[in-house]
Structure 1
Amino acid sequence: MLRTAVSLALVATLAACAGSAVESNPPPAAAAPAPAPVPELKPGVPAGYLGRALPDSLALVPPPPAAKSPAFAQDEAIHATAQALRNGPRETLATSDADLNFPHAPTAFDCALDTPITQAGTPRLYLLMQRTMVDAGMATYRAKDHYKHERPFVHYNENTCAPGDEAALRKDGSYPSGHTAIGWTWGLVLVQIAPERTDALLARARAFGESRLVCNAHWQSDILAGRTVAAGTFARLQSDATFAADVAAARAEVANGAPVDQAKCEAEAALVGPIAGTL
């Protein structure tokens, strides 16, 4: 079994996030064949691809920065820079990125991919993103549970961009960032599907993780470690035949995808640059 108590806690979180069921929603349009049913962690929450084969984040990342270390001073400096972006359009984007519920979550990558990601229009890609979210999120928990690193909003007695999540976040280790691992994994997978969109997709994946800095939910070191876990997850997925088949099917869907909302994309493009050029 995947890690018992910790895994169950993450499954509970992802149950809300991946909550649109594979079989309970209306069937997709005839032009986009429905994906085959997959195992579920609970009703409506498809399992990841990797199961017990998840990379071990405790082996992949070093310990988080110690108090009063130069690395923690860097975390504090980035925290101050990110918090200066609160109460503006960058926080609005960060708040949107914090929501991992489906069907909302994959829309973060619509503009970068240049086609909407929906269950009706791109069912295999939609399912792929649900399943890789579970893999990337689960993969952070060996280190999260071991280090139990304090989050910045707790450290400074501040708030976040998602007050409703704060009680759960206080009990969930900060290091590595699960949102970042998920977003960076998604970026890498989408590059595999649409390599001609590499720059836009990876820029959006970077911004997706940095949104956690603006939200005051993570330190810079959490973000960097989350990318490392994502890289390990993505690398391991390359050996999974079902994942490879879904990538191929998603590639065909994207090639025939619908147009995006250009006004939304122009507004988003102005917000996805690196925070203060430091990351």
Structure 2
Amino acid sequence: MPLSALAAAALLSACQTAPVKTATPPTSPEVVGEFRKGTGYLNGYIDRKELPDSLALVPPPPAPGSARYSADLQQHQQTRALRNTPRWEYAFKDVNLKFPEAAGVFSCALDMPISQEATPHLNMLLRRSLVDAGFATYKAKDHYQRKRPFAELGETTCSPKEEAHLSKDGSYPSGHAALGWAWGLILAGVAPDKANALLQRGHAFGDSRMVCGVHWQSDLEAGRVVGAAAVARLQADPVFQAQAQLAKAEIASARAKGLKSDRQDCASEAAALKR
């Protein structure tokens, strides 16, 4: 794991702030609103103009012929051996960012259900931060317009339906890696007793994009830097802070009731994602 990502995790753990007094954050998707009508993706907490500047945060992607580029190629070739294995299947599952399905990504790691019905504030914490972490990558992504592995090497991916769109979308930094790491950090903040499992799942969520063939290793590393920066910025938002405190209360309530993850594949997930 890159040192920058480890440092971000340590900072987040050490700098938890006191609850902020503010109006109860909404949990209704209709109240929060979609950032673009019909997409199902809700408005984030942060105005796009105030998101971290990814172009200033990450170095340029590896140049062809460089040592880092060679390392990207080598790592890509290693992941080809994972085709048609359980790890490949989970890479395909991790493609989906739409809710309610995406809410289940961390259910096994958190060991409790996550849904609009059972944990509305926790669910909204994930839905809204998705846009914040994802959009934060686009200043660098649009600037560099790096070709994705499958497009550069003429290969197929774990998700053929994505390929036409992704071939026109820059590879560096990875939005999924930014999001997975941001979600892992956020959840580790509200459920510190499960921090290791949550951060491991967030890391694996980004790795899934390399397994799938749509990102290079260096894309993931840069994405995690941006994801950590987005979470750091979210700590200063009173609505996010208030929702995080309410999410903590939901987790405590679920634990008091003895609720466990409703996923039936937690053991197989753990085996497939084991590093």
Structure-2-length-normalised TM-score = 0.85
Tell me which amino acid in the other structure corresponds to 1:109: F
Establish whether residue 197 from structure 1 lines up as the match of residue 194 from structure 2: yes
**1:46 pairs with 22, 39, 42, which one?**
42
For residue 42 of structure 1, give the secondary structure of its aligned residue in structure 2. coil
The Cα offsets for residues 111-167 of structure 1, whole Å up to 9 and x where unpaired, read as 001111111111111111111000001000000000000000011100111111111
Q: How does 1:1-279 map to 2 (within 5 A)?
A: 35=27, 37-43=31-37, 44-51=40-47, 52-257=49-254, 258-261=259-262, 263-274=264-275
What corresponds to 1:27 in structure 2? none
What is the aligned length? 242
Could you tell me the percent identity over the aligned residues?
Answer: 51
> How far did residue 34 of structure 1 move?
6.8
Distance 1:139 1:262 in 2: 31
**1:42-89 C-alpha deviation (Å, 9 max, x unpaired):** 345421011121001000000000001000000011101111111110
CA distance in 1 between partners of 2:230 and 2:64 (Å): 29
Shifted more, 56-65 versus 105-114: the winner is: 105-114
Amino acid at match of 2:202: A
TM-score between both structures, scaled by the size of structure 1: 0.84
What SS does the aligned partner of 1:225 have?
A: helix
The answer to whether the 8 A contact 1:174-1:218 is kept is yes
Q: Which runs of 4+ in 1 moved over 4 A?
A: none
Deviations 1:218-237 (A, max 9, x none): 00000000000001001000
Question: What per-residue deviation string (whole Å, max 9, x for no partner) do you get for residues 180-216 of structure 1?
Answer: 1111100000001100001100110111100001100
- Matched residue SS, 1:256: helix
Compute the RMSD of aligned alpha carbons.
1.5
Once residues 79 and 45 of structure 1 are traced to their aligned partners in structure 2, the CA distance between those partners, rounded to angstroms, is 30
Distance 2:92 2:244 in 1: 29
- Distance 1:175-1:35 versus aligned 2 partners, 3 A rule: same
